[in-house]
């Protein structure tokens, strides 16, 4: 079964899109490096802000005919074919494919609210094409809306990116609780919270160290810590120039940290 990693947190600006895009590229790159037979990775952008789509494809003009919107609104029978048709190759790597978002996703969400089976509108067609990919990475919007529920229902592993300033145990437990609530509500047996990813860690800030130490010492959350991404200007430069952090500066601290995380994830999917 293809693992699908969903980056999710209802807090805005915590590094969901940065992490989703760089993890997706990193997995494809590492799989190629180790000579994997299938190094293809699919990045799914479920956020109407379309940041992940824009940086990886250079485009933000996807609409009702050629984006995730088309998949969600398609007839059940034709949805897998529509999904296959709207996937595009990223500009970052031939093995990184993108299911693009569009601002119109909010409209789709409103239209689908309350319709039977709506949380499965992504998961069902995706199940048909998932075997073509070594891994799937899903970016989400900063809320637990219907669209994010659809992303969680389609996923196997939830990774929660969190900035050190939001690292209070109570807040983090409530995010994890919300994911579990959605999983149990829709009986998604394959979904688990598999990681907490600390982002924008500024080692000069004592409070950040205190928060990180508290997290490490926590009996449940400490085990979930899957990486610490430093606050690094190279990330902002990469973001602005629509590059991956690896292309922007492979030696930057954030590149090394994302590469480390990618190594862990590729081990989990049995690729290296």
Q: Which residues bind Mg ion (CB under 5 A)?
A: 16-17, 51
Mark residues 106-145: x for contact with ligand ATP by CB under 6 A, - for none: ------------------------------------x---
95 binds ligand ATP (CB under 6 A): no
How far CA 149 is from CA of 64, 81, 123, 129, 146, in Å, comes to 21, 22, 10, 20, 5
Two tokens, residue 148: 């994010």
18 binds ligand ATP (CB under 6 A): yes
Two tokens, residue 2: 């293809």
In terms of C-beta density within 10 A (0-12 exposed, 13-18 middle, 19 or more buried), how is residue 245 classed? buried
83 binds ligand ATP (CB under 6 A): no
Element (H, E) at 228: strand 225-230
Helix, strand, coil tally for the chain in percent (to 5) = 50, 15, 35
Q: Which is nearer to ligand ATP, 30 or 238 (by Cβ)?
A: 238
- Which span (27-35, 37-45, 120-128, 224-232) binds ligand ATP, by CB under 6 A? 224-232
Q: Which of 40, 51, 97, 208 binds ligand ATP (CB under 6 A)?
A: 51
Q: State whether residue 235 is helix, strand or coil.
A: helix
199 binds ligand ATP (CB under 6 A): yes
Two tokens, residue 193: 């919270």
Two tokens, residue 242: 């629509």
93 binds ligand ATP (CB under 6 A): no
Q: Which of 3, 40, 208, 239 binds ligand ATP (CB under 6 A)?
A: 239
Binding site for ligand ATP (CB under 6 A): 12-18, 47, 49, 51, 142, 199-200, 229, 231-232, 235-236, 239, 254
């Amino acid at each position: 079964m293809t693992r699908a990693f969903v980056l999710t947190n209802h807090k805005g600006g915590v590094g969901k899109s940065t992490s989703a895009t760089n993890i997706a590229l990193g997995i494809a790159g590492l799989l190629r490096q180790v000579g994997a037979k299938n190094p293809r990775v699919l990045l799914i952008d479920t956020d109407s802000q379309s940041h992940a789509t824009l940086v990886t494809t250079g485009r933000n003009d996807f609409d009702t005919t050629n984006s995730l919107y088309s998949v969600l609104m398609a007839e059940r029978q034709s949805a897998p074919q529509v999904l296959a048709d709207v996937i595009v190759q990223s500009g970052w790597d031939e093995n990184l494919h993108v299911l693009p978002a569009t601002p119109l996703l909010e409209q789709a969400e409103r239209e689908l609210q309350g319709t039977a089976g709506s949380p499965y509108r992504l998961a069902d067609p995706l199940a048909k094409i998932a075997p073509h990919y070594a891994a799937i990475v899903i970016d989400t919007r900063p809320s637990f809306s219907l669209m994010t529920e659809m992303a969680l229902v389609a996923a196997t592993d939830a990774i929660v990116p969190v900035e050190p300033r939001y690292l209070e145990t109570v807040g983090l437990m409530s995010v994890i609780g919300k994911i579990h609530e959605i999983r149990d509500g829709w009986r998604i047996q394959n979904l688990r919270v598999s990681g907490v990813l600390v982002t924008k860690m500024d080692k000069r800030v004592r409070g950040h160290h205190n928060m990180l130490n508290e997290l490490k010492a926590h009996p449940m959350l400490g085990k979930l810590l899957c990486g610490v991404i430093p606050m690094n200007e190279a990330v902002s430069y990469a973001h602005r120039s629509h590059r991956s952090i690896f292309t922007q500066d492979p030696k930057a601290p954030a590149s090394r940290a994302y590469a480390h995380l990618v190594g862990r994830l590729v081990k989990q999917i049995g690729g290296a």
